[in-house]
Amino acid sequence: MEFFKLTPTRITPSLCNQVPALFAQLNDRMSPVDLAVVMESSHSKIHGVACTSGEKLVGMAFLAVYKTLSGHKGMVEDVVVHMEHRKQGIAKRLMQLLLEEAEKEKLDQVLLYTGYHRKPAMALYESLGFQKKESSIYSYVLGKTTPSR
């Protein structure tokens, strides 16, 4: 297994072509934005990390960095490991790499959201020192004519 930061030289067409299938294992109701577009965005700062086995993309995770009045923060997004490679410590290593990036950025806080049904993910995040917040997350989807449920 090779773990690496997603840099322009590491974002190949082959890697980009593998993202939709891996992302579908996280959320099969959404189509991901093209990886190269996300990582080259001038509108936001994104750190991405990945894991490959040979030429196969087996895991990825992202950290979106932003500033608000309440501090310099990061939001962990789109953490996914291919189902054939789970329970091998890949997600933990990806998260550790993101937390290293958070430290380099001198963030005040790293946040993440996970579904209440994702028990292994919650156990992983808690093992890394994340604490569950008593709060609710809301979503407003733009461009829809009817409210989503």
Residue 115 has pLDDT above 60, yes or no: yes
Please say if the pLDDT value at position 28 is more than 90: no
What does the buried/exposed string (b/e) look like for 128-146 if buried means 16 or more CB atoms within 10 Å of the residue's CB?
A: eebeeeeeeeeeeeeeeee
How much is the pLDDT for 27? 87
pLDDT exceeding 90 applies to what percent of the chain? 70
For residue range 50-104, list pLDDT tens digits in order: 999 999 999 999 999 999 999 999 999 999 999 999 999 999 999 999 999 999 9
Q: Name the nearest CA neighbour of 11 among 33, 43, 46, 39.
A: 39
CB-CB contact of 16 with 105 (8 Å) = no
Q: What is the C-alpha R_g of the chain? A: 16
Instruction: Give the per-residue pLDDT at 42.
Output: 59
Longest dimension (CA), the chain: 44
Match 């963030």 to its residue by tokens: 107
> For residue 146, what pLDDT is reported?
53
